Amino acid sequence: MSLGNEKSLNDPRQWLSERELYRYQVREATQYAMFMLDPAGILLSWNAGVGHILGYSEEDWVGKHASMIFTPAEQAHEVCRAELLFAAEQGCATDIRWHLRKDGSELFAHGFMTAIRAADGTLLGFSKILSDETKNKQLQDSLTESNEALEQFAYIASHDLQEPLRTIGTFAELLATEYQKNLDQDAAGYLELIVSGAKRMSTLIQDLLAYARVQTEVNRPASYALDQDLETALTQLQVLIDESGAVVTHDALPTLPADQGQMVRLFQNLIGNALKYRKPDVRPEIHISAQQQGPFWVITVHDNGIGFDEKHARDIFLPFKRLHGQQEYPGTGVGLAICRRIVEWHGGRIWAESRLGEGSKFHFSLPLEGKVIPEYTRPVTTGL
């Protein structure tokens, strides 16, 4: 039996007329509202999706002006006309915005409108498809809200904790210096622990503040050469580089839309770690490379340091997760969590490869075109 025969036997178009196909694909489809409009925006056709999503029966719908589903009410006509104008000029228009159902409730819908023209170019009208995205929008909003609340909480908590901590630190230091003669050895030792504990907590709070502050604004960042950001980070690490005798080399890095301050911090944290987690008695060699992979640049920071067991390659990006002792390698465990937040905010990913004793590679990807910002409703223009 030939494959070609099977295919044609199973092809429903053999059994269905154009009219029946229209019925199944459009008229009876409930998940998408699909309808036609005349050039002035009068609704000409209806499908089951209009009933399901917008709540209109065919009688309530056909012959009315499409502006009845637009919101806010006082601008509905204007917004609707602007969309028709845009589709007429460009051939099609997409929009994601709130609409009104027949019962007055609001619906967040993704719409796609196509202009229909006769062979001589005369505008005959428009076809429009709407999908209901209300649940997705509500979920997205609640996630954004809880993220913002969490950020706010981390910010306020860390900010407000600093004040009493400063008091503890200052007075413990005063006690240690001014009452030194009256203290026995144990008391002096306890005070020293209080002072160093307060200092450590203050560093933790500073890092937590930096973590909470990673910006979340929605503006597309300006374009920056990563080379410049790397140079700035290296200047800030110069003392450590000189002290350790490290050799830092790098490929030419790309220019892409990214927040400059955050890129500097990213390089500073990763290269700072490569310097800190170096092998004793081995000169640190650090190389930063860049490779284009599909729609992303992947930047790698490669070191010849102490490395770590790869089973921890994911956990180390969690706040406060540390693999090495505080005495040996001081730190708070927040640096890589900040790196992750920065990279993910820019629409990329960060990951690590390593082996104990064999150095580490930290990779992060950034989209060539910058962070993808969802396309929202265009500004309203008037006149058709």
Rank residues 33 and 248 by Cβ distance to ligand ADP and give the closer one: 248
The separation between CA 239 and the C-alpha centre of its own chain, rounded to angstroms, equals 34
Distance separating alpha carbons of residues 174 and 168, to the nearest angstrom: 10
Residue of closest CB approach to ligand ADP? 331
Rank residues 258 and 336 by Cβ distance to ligand ADP and give the closer one: 336
Distance separating alpha carbons of residues 140 and 179, to the nearest angstrom: 58
From the CB of 150, what's the least distance to ligand ADP, in Å? 19
Buried b (16+ CB within 10 A) or exposed e, 181-204: eeeeeeeeeebeebbeebeebbeb
Rank residues 41 and 284 by Cβ distance to ligand ADP and give the closer one: 284
Rank residues 53 and 210 by Cβ distance to ligand ADP and give the closer one: 210
The one-letter amino acid code at 282 reads V
Rank residues 43 and 266 by Cβ distance to ligand ADP and give the closer one: 266
Distance separating alpha carbons of residues 96 and 119, to the nearest angstrom: 31
User: Is residue 108 classed as helix, strand or coil in its secondary structure?
Assistant: strand
* Exposed / middle / buried, residue 28 (Cβ in 10 Å: 0-12, 13-18, 19+): exposed
From the CB of 170, what's the least distance to ligand ADP, in Å? 25
Rank residues 113 and 270 by Cβ distance to ligand ADP and give the closer one: 270
From the CB of 254, what's the least distance to ligand ADP, in Å? 23
What is the maximum alpha-carbon separation in the chain?
103
Rank residues 69 and 288 by Cβ distance to ligand ADP and give the closer one: 288
Residue closest to 270 by CA, chosen among 373, 361, 378, 158: 361
From the CB of 347, what's the least distance to ligand ADP, in Å? 22
Residue partners of 79: CB distance under 8 A and separation at least 6: 67, 70, 377, 380
User: Is residue 353 classed as helix, strand or coil in its secondary structure?
Assistant: strand
User: Is residue 69 classed as helix, strand or coil in its secondary structure?
Assistant: helix
Q: Give the chain's radius of gyration (CA, Å).
A: 31
Rank residues 308 and 364 by Cβ distance to ligand ADP and give the closer one: 308
From the CB of 321, what's the least distance to ligand ADP, in Å? 6
From the CB of 200, what's the least distance to ligand ADP, in Å? 11
Contact criterion met (CB below 8 Å) for 279 and 367: no
Q: Which two tokens stand for residue 205?
A: 């709070």
- Alpha helices in the chain, H assignment, sequence order: 3-10, 18-22, 48-49, 58-61, 76-90, 134-178, 185-213, 226-236, 238-244, 260-276, 335-345
Strand partners, 131: 32, 110
From the CB of 293, what's the least distance to ligand ADP, in Å? 22
The one-letter amino acid code at 15 reads W
Contact criterion met (CB below 8 Å) for 154 and 212: yes
- Binding residues for ligand ADP, rule: CB under 6 A, are 269, 273-274, 277, 303, 305-308, 316, 321-324, 331-337, 360
From the CB of 334, what's the least distance to ligand ADP, in Å? 6
Rank residues 207 and 259 by Cβ distance to ligand ADP and give the closer one: 207
From the CB of 66, what's the least distance to ligand ADP, in Å? 54
From the CB of 99, what's the least distance to ligand ADP, in Å? 46
Q: Which two tokens stand for residue 178?
A: 């001014």
Rank residues 47 and 262 by Cβ distance to ligand ADP and give the closer one: 262
